[in-house]
Structure 1
Amino acid sequence: MRIRLATPDELPLLQAVERAAGEPFRAVGMVEIADDEPPELGVLDTFRRAGRAWVVEENAGVVAYLVAEPVDGSLHIEQVSVHPDAARRGVGRALIAYAQEYANEHGLDALTLTTFTEVPWNAPYYERLGFTVLGEAELTPGLRKVRAHEGELGLDRWPRVCMRKPLTD
Structure 2
Amino acid sequence: MNVDAGRERGRRNSVVGHCAAWLHRAMTDGVSVRPARPGELSELRAIELAAGELFREIGMVAVADHAPPPLSVMAEYQRDGRAWVAADQDDRPVGYILVLLVDGCAHIEQVSIHPAQSRRGIGRLLIDEVDRWAAVQGLPALTLTTFRSVAWNGPYYARLGFRELSPAEFTPRLEEIRAAETAMGLDPADRICMRRDLTG
Q: TM-score range by the shorter chain?
A: over 0.9
| Structure 1 equivalent of residue 130 of structure 2 | 99
Q: Distance in 2 between matches of 1:165 and 1:106?
A: 16
| Structure 1 equivalent of residue 187 of structure 2 | 156
Give yes or no for the alignment of 1:76 onto 2:118.
no
Percentage of pairs with the same residue: 51
| Structure 2 equivalent of residue 8 of structure 1 | 38
1:2-38 CA distance string (max 9 Å, x none)? 1111111100001000000001111211011111111
RMSD: 1.0
- Give structure 1 stretches of 5+ with no counterpart: none
| Structure 1 equivalent of residue 83 of structure 2 | 53
**Matching residue within 136, 145, 170 for 1:114:** 145
Q: Distance in 2 between matches of 1:151 and 1:59?
A: 39
Q: Distance in 1 between matches of 2:189 and 2:120?
A: 27
- 1:131 counterpart letter in structure 2: F
Structure 1 stretches of at least 4 aligned residues deviating more than 3 Å after TM superposition? none
Q: Distance in 2 between matches of 1:147 and 1:102?
A: 25
TM-superposed CA distance for 1:120, in Å, is: 0.3
What TM-score, normalized to structure 1? Answer: 0.97
Please tell me whether Structure 1 or Structure 2 has the larger radius of gyration of its CA atoms.
2
What TM-score, normalized to structure 2? Answer: 0.82
| Structure 1 equivalent of residue 176 of structure 2 | 145
| Structure 2 equivalent of residue 64 of structure 1 | 95
Q: Distance in 2 between matches of 1:20 and 1:84?
A: 7
Give the 3-state SS of the residue equivalent to 2:97 in structure 1. strand
- 1:79 counterpart letter in structure 2: Q
Closer/same/farther in 2, CA of residues 16 and 158 from structure 1, 3 Å limit: farther
- 1:83 counterpart letter in structure 2: H
Stretch deviating more after TM superposition (101-110 or 56-65) = 56-65
In 1, are the aligned partners of 2:178 and 2:188 still within 8 Å (CA)?
no
Give the 3-state SS of the residue equivalent to 1:130 in structure 2. coil
Structure with the higher strand share, 1 or 2: 1
In 1, are the aligned partners of 2:41 and 2:74 still within 8 Å (CA)?
yes
TM-superposed CA distance for 1:158, in Å, is: 6.4
TM-superposed CA distance for 1:80, in Å, is: 0.2
| Structure 2 equivalent of residue 88 of structure 1 | 119
**Matching residue within 154, 167, 185 for 1:136:** 167
Q: Distance in 2 between matches of 1:79 and 1:34?
A: 14
- 2:83 counterpart letter in structure 1: A
Q: Distance in 2 between matches of 1:33 and 1:141?
A: 25
Question: How many residues are matched?
Answer: 169
Closer/same/farther in 2, CA of residues 103 and 141 from structure 1, 3 Å limit: same
Give the 3-state SS of the residue equivalent to 2:187 in structure 1. helix
In 2, are the aligned partners of 1:74 and 1:111 still within 8 Å (CA)?
yes
In 1, are the aligned partners of 2:107 and 2:142 still within 8 Å (CA)?
yes
